[in-house]
Amino acid sequence: MKIPHTFGSLCLLLSLACGGEPERVALDTDLHGAARVPPPSSVLRFAAAGGAARLYRVPSLEPSSWKAEDKMPAVERIIGADPEQGLVFALDSKRNLVTLDLETRRVRTYLEQVRAATIGPDGALYAVDTGSTVTQMVRRAPVRFRAKLQGSPRELHATMTGALLARIGDKAPVLEVLGSDQAPTTTTLPSDDIAPSFYGDLVAVATDTAVVLYDTQGKRQTRSIRVSGHPRAVLFSPSGHRLYVAQQDDALLVLDRFSGDELQRIDLPGAAKGLRGGRAGEWLLVQPAVGDSAWVIDVGRARLSGTVAARWTGDLPVVTSPNALLVRRGDDVVALDLAADGFPERGRVEGGAADEWLPIPWRPSDETEGEAAADSAALANADSVQAGPGVYLQVSSSQNPTWASELAEKLRGAGLPASVLPPARSDEAHRVVLGPYATREQAEETGRRIGMPSFIVSTQNAPDR
């Protein structure tokens, strides 16, 4: 998802300023960046041996009518997607960077002799070729960095400011920061267990006794947060203001990124070695140190919800919307419902385990038109029933009322008409909204203006302020 640069800093400041993290974030913009009712997620399937990519609906995993016109080559790794541009990037077995255009359904080669590549938080692509030259794709036009990468990248990440982060080396891991017009800077790291924030402004490193925070822009000093329990992996929350620390001593710690205070401690069934989160931040997956399984953490309730059998690979297991977990089961890929007791199966693709999978917040236009019409009709009916203004712009939701209230307060402090819609039932979330607005058009205009992911809701309940 790409946030307009005019309001990106506002969104970041608001998310960082809030003392608690809403576990559900309003999704998404469409391919052209317009605020809309979020579509259900889709998932792309890429055949390991090559062939036409296929699209499936989530969570049912029913095949979509969409199918690529061109065949993909044998894929070594899926790099990621830029939903605004409607492009999916992959690295094939011959080290060619290929793209799949979701709208035209065509495949073409972008770059050759690519060693590694990554997608930035704004959807920009960064590729390192076999000669260590870095190329950034800006609106489908290549821009070469002046300086070359100094080492062979083991990991690549990108920042919101257009810099590339690379972890190089094995025995002595090094963080290299390189910009399009700046010389590379290098920092020796105490461990190779690293995690960048979503915007790439910080890199967290887990050591045996602490979590060390490195500022990638060089504006702040390196900071160390002392942690007991032998940290083995670290992960930022989507907003970047919380740190999750998986420990060898059977616990998951939740730390405040600014103060370093321990906010929560969640007991685990055993030692952990890895973490993986969804973009919305509602669920967190913990990889056990032993065995093929995943511990599912309900972030809003700060508890372990259950254990799922899962083989950890580069693409799966993965959490996608709405509340779906995709895992491999034998030769198949299945979708589990995390919001229901026991995580029941909601969909299955037989024979899909050998292929690569990529969730994307996108549906083809011929499938979303009917959904959009139904949504518009429902909203129009709700508006006609209500007396007076009743149209709101939802920007977040949370099971934790304190988090929701704190976020609404921060938004009001930024001059926005924020409030909290209380849940109608005990199992529903507290929704953070802007409004009310007299018309749907006014709400949509606000959604475009603020640059935050949002969608329109109508309600007869008065919000808590």
Buried b (16+ CB within 10 A) or exposed e, 92-101: beeebbbbbb
The pLDDT of residue 152 is 87
Whether pTM exceeds 0.75 = no
The H-or-E segment that residue 288 falls in is: strand 283-288
Query: Minimal CA–CA distance to 168: which of 186, 190, 145?
Result: 186
The pLDDT of residue 27 is 31
Task: Concatenate the DSSP letters of all residues of 230-267 into one string.
Answer: -EEEEEE-TTSSEEEEEESSSEEEEEETTT--EEEEEE
| 401-413 helix and 5-17 helix, angle to the nearest 10 degrees | 130
Determine the Cα–Cα distance for residues 172 and 145; give it in Å rounded to an integer: 26
C-alpha 191: how far from its chain's center?
24
Taking residue 260's Cβ as centre, other Cβ atoms within 10 Å add up to 16
Determine the Cα–Cα distance for residues 125 and 134; give it in Å rounded to an integer: 10
Residues in Cβ contact with 149 at an 8 Å cutoff, skipping those fewer than 6 apart: 128, 132, 133, 134, 164, 166, 168, 176, 178, 184
Query: Minimal CA–CA distance to 11: which of 280, 213, 199, 158?
Result: 199
Query: Minimal CA–CA distance to 145: which of 96, 185, 200, 184?
Result: 184
Q: In what order do the strands lie in the sheet with 242-247?
A: 231-236, 242-247, 251-256, 262-267
Query: Minimal CA–CA distance to 255: which of 317, 311, 312, 213?
Result: 213
CA angle centred on 414, ends 413 and 415, rounded to 5°: 90
CA angle centred on 221, ends 219 and 226, rounded to 5°: 140
CA angle centred on 337, ends 369 and 452, rounded to 5°: 50
Assign 345 to helix, strand or coil.
strand
The residues with which 335 forms a beta bridge, in sequence order, are: 326, 347
pLDDT tens over the chain, length 465 residues: 333 333 343 444 344 334 333 333 333 322 222 233 344 479 999 998 899 999 999 999 999 999 899 999 998 899 999 877 889 999 999 999 999 999 999 999 989 999 999 999 888 899 999 999 999 987 777 889 999 998 889 999 999 888 999 998 777 799 999 988 888 899 999 988 899 998 899 999 999 999 999 999 888 899 999 998 899 999 999 878 899 999 989 999 999 988 999 999 999 999 999 999 987 788 999 999 999 999 999 988 889 999 999 999 999 999 997 689 999 999 999 999 998 999 999 999 999 999 999 999 888 876 655 554 444 444 344 333 333 447 888 888 776 777 788 788 778 777 788 888 887 765 567 888 888 888 888 887 787 677 566 778 765 444 555
Tokens of residue 75, six digits: 């894929």
The pLDDT of residue 327 is 97
Q: Is the dihedral of CA 160, 277, 322, 46 positive or negative?
A: positive
Query: Minimal CA–CA distance to 281: which of 201, 428, 447, 399?
Result: 399
Determine the Cα–Cα distance for residues 42 and 87; give it in Å rounded to an integer: 14
Task: Concatenate the DSSP letters of all residues of 103-132 into one string.
Answer: TT--EEEEESSEEEEEE-TTS-EEEEETT-
Residues in Cβ contact with 162 at an 8 Å cutoff, skipping those fewer than 6 apart: 120, 124, 136, 179, 180
Rg of the chain over Cα atoms, rounded to whole angstroms, equals 22
Tokens of residue 98, six digits: 């290929």
Q: In what order do the strands lie in the sheet with 141-144?
A: 114-119, 125-129, 134-138, 141-144
Cis status, amide bond into 322, omega within 30 of 0: yes
